[in-house]
Amino acid sequence: MSCCKVESIIGVDDRGQILLPKDIRDKAGIKPGDKLAVVTWESPEKACCISLIKAEYLVGTVKGILSPIMEETDTNDSRRSKRRS
């Protein structure tokens, strides 16, 4: 089973705006007012891929990545404090 597929080919208007097709908005649960994060993968010359992620999912992902780092930082800070005492 593949995680990614081409859902649609969309155009960009004169103002640089795109319109997500209704079936994709419905499938992703995107409603008016929702926030989307624009994520790019860059080659040395330019951005080669663009993805949209619902901001509510991005928050959870960032927390999942940063929580272990923050816990490690807290542990290291505690160790340093104990050594100074």
Look at residue 53 in the predicted model and tell me its pLDDT: 87
For the chain, give the number of residues: 85
Alpha helices per DSSP H over 1-85: 22-28, 55-84
Q: Which residues contact 4 (CB under 8 A, 6 or more apart)?
A: none
For the chain, which residues make up each domain, given as ranges?
22-84
Over the chain (85 residues), the average pLDDT of each successive run of 10 is 82 96 95 92 84 84 73 64 62
Residue tagged 């908005």 (tokens): 25
pLDDT for residue 11: 96
**Nearest-angstrom CA–CA distance, 35 and 49:** 19
